[in-house]
Structure 1
Amino acid sequence: MDTELSRRGFLASVAGIVGVGVTGEAAAQENTRTIDMTDDLVFAPDSAAVTPGTTVVWENVGSIGHSVTAYEDDIPEEAEFFASGGFDSEQAAREAYPDQGDIPGGESYEHTFEVEGTYDYFCIPHESVGMVATLEVTPDAGEEEGYTSLLPAKAQQLAVWAVAALVGVLGFTWALLKYGGEYGEGSEGGESE
């Protein structure tokens, strides 16, 4: 009986730890917004709204290099300038590209927005073909109608696989604890009569 209680306790502990980890990951994802940069030379979406404190992650989902550069005169006055490559000004970002600030396919750039207002930004090599976008930072950003996922598609897929793996590990652990190493009399591993 004591063995059964300790097995249940073990499984309950594992489930609790996983629950805390999943909750913490979901909370971290809540303040993240992903914007794709594509081979169609667009930011997708090209207009987005986020709440203050949100980290925006621009992911290059194609194979063509891109940049993320704020229009220095088109961000709130109190806001921090942002550009891939970590530049302090639009001019510095423009002069350094493509040696610095390029985001190759499969890589990303992120920036956390604290100051409310409208932020216009662009991709340096593709600005002339219209790769520009707008981000609105407002407390009302989360009040849009309809279903909006808090997690990017890749994170959702990862979560499904993680849960499936966890269920498999827990099932294996349960079977091992229930049946592993407890042999009845007469079953002496491999001896035949």
Structure 2
Amino acid sequence: MVDRRTFLATTGALAGGLTAGLAGCLGRGAGDADHDIGMSSSAFLPAEYRVEPGTTVIWKNTSTHAHTVTAYENTLPEGTAYFASGDYETEQQARDAWYEHGGGAIYAGKTFAHTFEQPGRYPYVCIPHESSNMAGVILVGDVEEADG
């Protein structure tokens, strides 16, 4: 038979663990999380993220694999600034840098941030995991869903 103190200590620890685990899922504005989008070994989590214009989005590498955040340049809204980890000015520069020397890599525990000023859809990819379909989209303002 379990005594009352053991029972209370066990259930309290379980409840605390569950609360801490859920807090990481809530996102930056709702808890103590320090990022909006996580990077697993082969996926952006979440793959689709909606924000209002002027919002800074923070990606964090939550895996042990090196990743990039690289915009698909030809699909960005007209007149918007290009974005990529490593601060490259074009998609081709970002790709060349990755293949030549791992340029733009975001290592475990590190972050990349970009502010989205204009409404629109902003598709992006992780270059080293592109063949595994590691891609995402930022939806800024009142735009259709990614698959709509």
Residue of structure 1 equivalent to 2:38:
36
Task: Give the CA deviation at 1:74.
Answer: 1.0
Count of aligned residue pairs for this structure pair: 110
Structure 1 residues 115 and 33: CA distance shift in structure 2, 3 A: farther
Structure 2 CA distance for aligned equivalents of residues 128 and 51 of structure 1: 30
Hey, which of these two has a bigger chunk of helix by percent? 1
**Structure 1 unmatched ranges of 5 or more:** 1-28, 141-193
Letter of the 2:36 counterpart: T
Task: Give the CA deviation at 1:99.
Answer: 3.0
Q: For residues 1-193 of structure 1, what are the structure 2 equivalents within 5 Å?
A: 34-39=36-41, 41-97=42-98, 98-138=101-141
User: 2:73·2:82 contact (CA, 8 Å) conserved in 1?
Assistant: yes
What is the RMSD computed on CA atoms of the aligned residues?
1.7
CA-to-aligned-CA distance 1:42-78 (integer Å, 9 cap, x gap): 0000011100011000000011000000000111011
Q: Is the radius of gyration larger for structure 1 or structure 2?
A: 1
Kindly, what percent of the aligned residue pairs are identical?
Answer: 43
When normalised by structure 1's length, the TM-score is: 0.54
Q: After TM superposition, which residue ranges in structure 1, 4 or more long, deviate above 4 angstroms? A: none
Task: Give the CA deviation at 1:139.
Answer: 5.2
Hey, which of these two has a bigger chunk of strand by percent? 2
CA-to-aligned-CA distance 1:111-167 (integer Å, 9 cap, x gap): 000011000000000001100111100058xxxxxxxxxxxxxxxxxxxxxxxxxxx
User: 2:35·2:60 contact (CA, 8 Å) conserved in 1?
Assistant: no
